[in-house]
Chains A and B, each alone.
Chain A
Amino acid sequence: MTSYLSLAIWVPIISGVAVVVAGRDRDAGTARWIALLGAIAGFLVCIPLYTHFDNATSAMQFVERRDWIPYFDIFYHLGVDGISVLFILLNSFTTLLVVWAGWEVIKSRVAQYMAAFLIMSGLINGAFAALDGILFYVFFEAMLIPMYLIIGVWGGERRVYAAIKFFLYTLLGSLLMLVAFIYLYQQTGSFALDDWYRLPLSLSTQVMIFIAFFAAFAVKVPMWPVHTWLPDAHTEAPTGGSVVLAAITLKIGGYGFVRFILPIVPDASHYLAPFVITISLIAIVYIGFVALVQTDMKKLIAYSSISHMGFVTLGFFLFNQLGVEGGLAQMVSHGFVSAAMFLCVGVMYDRMHTRMIADYGGVANTMPKFAAFMMLFAMANSGLPATSGFVGEFMVILAAVQVNFWLGFVAAISLILGAAYTLWMYKRVIFGAVANAHVAALSDLSRREFWLLGTVAAAVLLMGIWPRPFIDVMHVSVVDLLAHVAKSKIPTP
């Protein structure tokens, strides 16, 4: 048996440690190169996960199972199905981007910066691959530590506030989830997710567990009204931090819904679906309006992330094939698009040191190549067909219409809203006359930035034009998940 998943977890972590050990702060060059090699290696070891993946089965693949803490029946149990494998690839890809994006930009404590991202990448892969509750929890919690440091050390002005808020919000949810985990352990005598899937539970217990899980994952997604940590964290984090937060860590929240909430407490999920759908719609529409009035580009993209993630939770709680697949596709797409948007803001911020929309104007005159790239990403963010943003949103809206026309109608309205805030921001920043001397002095993309944005642009277009490889991977797993969720777990007396 091959241990690709262990490699996907430990290669980045070990390279991260190597970066700190070998690349002292004085010697930033070494640190950068080791980090880049580590990130490339981390991506390469993930490729077999896709090429050797069997689309025809919903069973866990690349399974590894070793004793870890026999005292508690905790196993080092890894495996991926069609739902999780894409996120591991997405994460390793994003890590590569982040290391590359921080190449010249980060000047202080380079080794620690690179190491934090690499270690976090390994931990995130672990969270996506873990099939044991405690193993998942360890990865899920441990990734807060590097992110806390990334926001706090390399962040903007209000970084301390943002970092502590981010940490405590996330911790509150996950601690309640821990109690739920232990409760499930009491009931089954095991921390294995498989055993939890099979455990019959009364509706009232399911609702309690649902609340505990929901506290953890809704904060992570984030759903309205527990989203307030996100604009702060995204805005204050350095570019790389925003990219990883938006592209990956939000996805762990969404992943938690399909891996934990739906299959473990299916009856509570059905019972509370109207509630979740309502707050998802509020997120989509209300947060869309909030995004419209932002003056800070990063904040605008942060709010647009919340709105886009609303589609994800909406799709999941429609309980049909199209909705769940649409939600997952939306997550993958949002991983590319939000990463790209934050990278674009990062490119401008590195030159101008401001994120305010009002400080820009007419950037297209001095940075034509950049303007073209950003055009593409802005279109993808508004869900234009032939970009990745279209696929997920369209599928979710179709699914919503199948359930209830007005549900689909409200969700569809937000497409207009998304186009409005993104394109209006684009217009104010990129078009028009050159606003001031700083903009006039801008230089266009460097070669590094060109290839960086070019890579993401290729991914966005690929998924938009030919989404089948992405959908095929998840299809069987989603069918199986829905079949499981449709069965009641309430014990018959």
Chain B
Amino acid sequence: MNTMTFNLMAVLPELVILTAACVILLVDLFLRDDQRHVGYWLAQFALLVALCVTVKTMHIDVVRVFHNLVIDDLIADFLRLFSFVAVSLVLFYSRTYLAVRGLFRGETFVLILFALLGMQVLITANSFVTLYLGLELMSLSLYALVAIQRDETAPVEAAMKYFVLGALASGFLLYGMSMIYGATGTLQIDLIAQAVLGRADNAILLMLGVVFVVSAIAFKLGAVPYHMWVPDVYQGAPTAITLLIGSAPKFAAFAMILRLLAGALGGAEGNWQGMLIVLCVLSMTLGHIVAIAQTNLKRMLAYSSIANMGYVLMGFMAGDVTGFSAALFYIVAYVLTTLAGFGVMLLLSRRGFEADQIDDLKGLNQRSPWWALVMLLVMFSLAGMPPTIGFYGKLLVLQAAINAGYVWLAVVGVLAALIGAFYYLRIVKLMYFDDPVDRAPIEARADTRFLLSANGLSLLLFGILPQPLMGLCAVVLVQSQFY
């Protein structure tokens, strides 16, 4: 362990994003309306710099800095990288969408960057305090982003629900943390891990703390029965913001579970494993069943997200490095798929028209075979069909569950996947079997078209050659000492 406590190198990517957010905030004051793209490109540039800095300062060993408040390990580096890429793609995909709705402004970019900063703090947290700080920074920025169309009712309503329930979850988390603090006498994650392993007294207090922490995690992840906010927020928020919420924060949520359950409470596995199984079964089944009834595409994808988070929990439930790396791979696969899915939705939206009903996809194959193919890959990836990346996500978490001795859970998982396949197939049916209602030409900027195509093909490419990503997920977690 590196004993240096004041080491700015460890938080350089955070500094880059923080600086960029402040600079854009200032610069935006001096921009005319037709110059807003300066802020946009500054944000993209900052993401690129942060990406390069992260790659440059990447190291194998685990470093704890700022009096052990912050940890910089390999998993933190990779989650940061994934988040940068995801946020960058969000910006690329939503540029036109934001522009025609008057949201192509400095405060959008600033809030997105602050949300990202919150994720990064969460990802690198080695103390309950830092973790909570990051979570709140991320959440508050996201609440504001959901409500950014402040003269429309649906987004404001969604933001309100998001805020109230999110605040409740934060309260749960703090309550749980305080109990764990009471039981172990420290807020520092690695010390808690030792304390949990070493002592048997205060077991009841610790268990109660675990209960509250797991509830808060379920809230943030959107797992049943703490899922109520997810469909409303997904549907109510502007599609660009839904895309943001559905992508990068999933990495942060992964980090949160990893740091709290695998890191701090790894020794109390018996306390949380049962809870995760319940959450997992409920999310997978309820998410998929309710999704069938949806006519709004965003709402359907929200329930699909709930179900998919159930599979992530299946990986975590296993409680070993196989399970954690399965969950990580699953999250990466899911985010990559979601990005492409919402990307196509954004592409179909135009001035005064939101392509958010599933019927808006009707006859897409006749309007544009290429985007129909991309959406087809998205749907089959979400359904976990080979040869797409989603299949290997399912394979890994099922394997983790069977490895941990839960064959029945794997069977529940595949039966839920079968239910899920029904509504994904319905989307494919609309795109390929039906005739188009809306025949407007699909126009997009060249960079969006290129990136979205690459994104769509990556689902297939990683499906044919999943080894690099799979190996990476395992190596990163082992190097970060989660085993």
Contact = CB atoms under 8 A, between A and B. Distances in A.
Contacts of B417: 175
Given A68-B467, A142-B386, A164 B391 contact: no
A186 B421 contact: no
Contact of A168 (B376, B395, B425, B470): B425
B280 to A, nearest CB: 16
Given A71-B467, A138-B387, A164-B429, A186 B402 contact: yes
B414 A176 contact: yes
A138 B386 contact: yes
Contact of A183 (B380, B402, B414, B467): B402
Contacts of A1: none
Given A141-B385, A168-B418, A178 B425 contact: no
Interface string B409-437: 01100110110011001101100110000
Contacts of B466: 69
A53 interface: no
B402 A182 contact: yes
Contacts of B432: 149, 152-153
Contacts of A25: 369
Contacts of A69: 466-467, 470
B399 interface: yes
Interface in B418-476: 418, 421-422, 425-426, 428-429, 432-433, 466-467, 470-471, 474
B410 A179 contact: yes
B12 interface: no
B407 interface: yes
A4 interface: no
B385 A134 contact: no
B7 interface: no
Decide if the interface of chain B is mainly helix, strand, loop or mixed: helix
Nearest to B386: A138
A159 interface: yes
Interface in A148-198: 148-149, 152-153, 159-160, 163-164, 167-168, 171-172, 175-176, 178-179, 182-183, 185-186
Contacts of A178: 395, 398, 414
B203 to A, nearest CB: 32
Contacts of B295: none
B5 interface: no
A409 interface: no
A176 B411 contact: yes
A179 B417 CA distance: 12
A141 B425 CA distance: 14
Interface residues of B, number: 33
Decide if the interface of chain A is mainly helix, strand, loop or mixed: helix
Contacts of A493: none
Contacts of B407: 179, 183
A179 B428 contact: no
B18 to A, nearest CB: 37
Contacts of B429: 152, 160, 163-164
Contact of A134 (B395, B425, B426, B433): B395
Contacts of B411: 176, 179
A148 B391 contact: no
A179 B414 contact: yes
A176 B421 CA distance: 14
A20 B370 CA distance: 10
A172 B383 CA distance: 13
B422 A168 contact: yes
Nearest to A186: B402
Interface string B380-412: 100001110001000100110011000100110
A458 interface: no
A142 B387 contact: yes
Contacts of A144: 385
A72 interface: yes
Given A68-B467, A153-B433, A182-B395, A175 B414 contact: yes
A103 interface: no
Interface residues of A, number: 37
A112 interface: yes
A70 interface: yes
A37 to B, nearest CB: 22
A20 B372 CA distance: 13
A286 interface: no
A142 B384 CA distance: 11
Nearest to B471: A71
A137 interface: yes
A168 B421 contact: yes
Contacts of B426: 164
Contacts of A186: 399, 402-403
A145 interface: yes
A167 B467 contact: no
Nearest to B419: A168
Contact of B425 (A137, A138, A148): A148
From B402, B415, B429, B474, residue with most partner A Cβ within 10 Å: B429
Contacts of A171: 418, 421
Interface in A8-41: 20, 25
A172 B421 CA distance: 10
Contacts of B474: 71
A182 B399 CA distance: 6
A56 B428 CA distance: 48
A340 to B, nearest CB: 29
From A69, A164, A179, residue with most partner B Cβ within 10 Å: A179
Nearest to B405: A186
B433 A175 contact: no
Nearest to B416: A175
Contacts of B467: 67-71
A487 to B, nearest CB: 27
B385 A163 contact: no
Contact of B433 (A141, A142, A152): A152
A7 to B, nearest CB: 17
A145 B422 contact: no
Nearest to A141: B386
A167 B421 contact: yes
B405 to A, nearest CB: 9
A71 B398 contact: no
A160 B433 contact: yes
A389 B432 CA distance: 38
A277 B379 CA distance: 39
Interface in A84-135: 109, 112, 134
A291 to B, nearest CB: 29
A25 B370 CA distance: 13
A348 B421 CA distance: 36
A183 B402 CA distance: 7
A29 B471 CA distance: 45
A71 B467 CA distance: 7
Contacts of B402: 179, 182-183, 186
Contacts of A164: 422, 425-426, 429
A168 B429 CA distance: 13
A72 B432 CA distance: 35
17 contacts: A68-B467, A71-B471, A71-B474, A138-B386, A141-B385, A148-B428, A153-B433, A167-B421, A168-B418, A171-B418, A175-B418, A179-B402, A179-B407, A179-B414, A182-B399, A186-B399, A186-B402
Given A71-B470, A164-B422, 16 more contacts: A69-B467, A70-B471, A71-B471, A109-B365, A112-B369, A134-B395, A137-B386, A138-B387, A141-B385, A145-B385, A148-B425, A148-B428, A168-B418, A168-B421, A179-B411, A179-B414
Interface pairs A-B: 10 shortest CB-CB: A175-B414, A138-B386, A152-B433, A71-B470, A69-B467, A141-B386, A182-B402, A182-B399, A71-B471, A142-B387
Interface of A: 20, 25, 67-72, 109, 112, 134, 137-138, 141-142, 144-145, 148-149, 152-153, 159-160, 163-164, 167-168, 171-172, 175-176, 178-179, 182-183, 185-186
Interface of B: 365, 369, 376, 380, 385-387, 391, 395, 398-399, 402-403, 407, 410-411, 414-415, 417-418, 421-422, 425-426, 428-429, 432-433, 466-467, 470-471, 474
